[in-house]
Amino acid sequence: MEEVIRIRIANRLFGRPLYYTAAYWVDGLLIDTGCPRTSQELLSVIEELGLERIVNTHSHEDHIGGNAILQEGFGMEILAHPLALPILSDPKRLHLQLYRRFIWGSPASSQGSPIGEVVTTGHYSFEIIYTPGHSEDHISLYEPRQGWLFTGDAYIGGLDKALQADSDIYAIISSLKRLSALSTKRLSQGSGTVRDDPQEAIEKKAEYLEDLGEKVWQLHGQGLSPKEIRDRLFGRELPIAYWTLGQVVPGRAGKYRGKQGRLPAGY
């Protein structure tokens, strides 16, 4: 049996996947549970593997969607950051927009417990690293002897041109720098993408976001409006801004903070 099993699943429309999410099974530990619409599929996989404990990297619906069915079926403990626990017990706190309910579904309630600094299984010991930014309750798991890092959505590959309105970019940068200092051999993302020797990729992502923040402030200092800054740095409005009704917006910084403070009005 493989030491880490990636379970990558997606809700489908007319047979085509809409958006992949992933859970990772390691030695009886399940890291994240995918979205509500794929929970039955996840359950069928876990019934064959067995389960001892669940950890949620954060409380977004595409990471806690299988919590309820697995907890009911296995009666198992779910661990998460303390800030995530109220959302696990009452997912209505997520205030899901229509597109999120359509793609991923609305999670049922589950009962979680606050995670400590370490989670152990029969053969492994995972350090819990607080990695806010994508969400305030985000954690990552690191197994130092194996060099395994499970980042949920703390690290997302590529050069972002659109972010959720409540993202905190400087917190993302800080979390990425914290992760880049680890001796990671393999990084497993919340999307199911797995990267070997990811340190350079993590560092480049942090540098890109820092450089982007500097450019925003420079253009703001030249008197450009938020729309003009967006057009200069990212081009015209992307379709995602329309079908998410403004929840995911090109150039949107959310709580964009740093040494220079909050971004100009409009971000």
8 A C-beta contact, residue 105 and residue 36: yes
8 A C-beta contact, residue 98 and residue 139: no
The pair of three-digit structure tokens given for residue 62, joined into one six-digit string? 């595409």
Can you give the length of the chain in residues?
A: 267
Q: Is pTM, for the whole model, over 0.85?
A: yes
Tell me, what's the pLDDT at 9? 87
104-108, 126-130, 144-148, 224-228: least confidently modelled range: 224-228
Instruction: State what percent of residues in the chain have pLDDT above 90.
Output: 67
Tell me, what's the pLDDT at 235? 78
Question: How buried is 45 (Cβ within 10 angstroms: 0-12 exposed, 13-18 middle, 19+ buried)?
Answer: middle
Tell me, what's the pLDDT at 102? 86
8 A C-beta contact, residue 26 and residue 1: no
Return the half-sphere exposure (C-beta side, CA atoms, 13 A cut-off) of residue 51.
29
Tell me, what's the pLDDT at 189? 96
Tell me, what's the pLDDT at 1? 38
Domain boundaries, the chain: 1-115
Three-class HEC string of 5-47 = EEEEEEEEECCEEEEEEEEEEECCEEECCCCHHHHHHHHHHHH
Could you tell me which residue, 167 or 70, shows the higher pLDDT?
70
Name the CATH superfamily housing domain 1-115. Answer: Ribonuclease Z/Hydroxyacylglutathione hydrolase-like (3.60.15.10)
pLDDT at 266 over 50: no
Question: Mean pLDDT across the chain, nearest whole number?
Answer: 87
Amino acid at 262: R
pLDDT at 257 over 50: no
Q: What is the pLDDT of residues 141-187, one digit of tens each?
A: 999 999 999 999 999 987 776 677 778 988 999 999 999 999 999 99
**Phi and psi at residue 223, to the nearest 5°:** 90, 10
Tell me, what's the pLDDT at 233? 87
Residue 6 neighbours by CB under 8 Å, 6+ apart: 22, 24, 188, 192, 194
Q: What is the pLDDT of residues 102-117, one digit of tens each?
A: 888 999 999 999 999 9
